[in-house]
Amino acid sequence: MEDNTHCVVCDKLAKYTCPICLQKYCSVPCFKTHKEHCKKKPMEYLSVEAMNDDTIAEDLTFISNAQAYVHTLVTKRRSVLEPAYKAKNLHKKLKRQERKPRPMQDEEGKPKSEVQKEELNNQIPEKTGLQVEETQHHQNVLK
């Protein structure tokens, strides 16, 4: 029976495990030596008759780990792409608002309060307060 606690290169006490073949090694130089001929052990084909509870459990564990890994990647992808997507949509929204300025008067023709003007200025950062007043003036001229 093989002792799995010793380095496969120098036979010292092993601290690490190769992620590819799961062999044990003790240091970086030993890992570099091992890495030159390291290959993943190929999976042998098992017929249905040869399968037992242990092999099915191993397969389920493998599938669960793969599913968790994919879920992690999807989550990371969303966390990277969602801010860019939101910024793109905000940019489109601001462009639409720029094309269709809101009136500075209510239905009765009364000027809106200064607070509402300030809200409009905050929603459209490209326009200054002077530009909003010019827009109001142009709307009044068009009426």
Does residue 34 contact residue 23 with C-beta atoms inside 8 Å?
Answer: yes
Find the domain containing 18 and state its range. Answer: 1-42
Over range 61-81, report the average pLDDT: 87
130-143 confidence digits (pLDDT tens): 555 666 655 665 55
- Residue 48: inside a domain: no
- Residue 64: inside a domain: yes
pTM, 2 dp: 0.33
Q: What is the pLDDT confidence band of residue 12, given thresholds at 50, 70 and 90? A: very high
Q: What are phi and psi of 68, to 5 degrees?
A: -65, -40
84-99 confidence digits (pLDDT tens): 777 777 777 777 777 6
Q: Phi/psi class of residue 97: alpha, beta or left (left: φ > 0; alpha: ψ in -120 to 50)?
A: alpha
Cα gap 112→1, rounded to integer Å? 87
Q: Please state the domain count of the chain.
A: 3
118 and 128 belong to one structural domain: yes
- Of 100, 116, 135, the one marking the end of a domain is 100
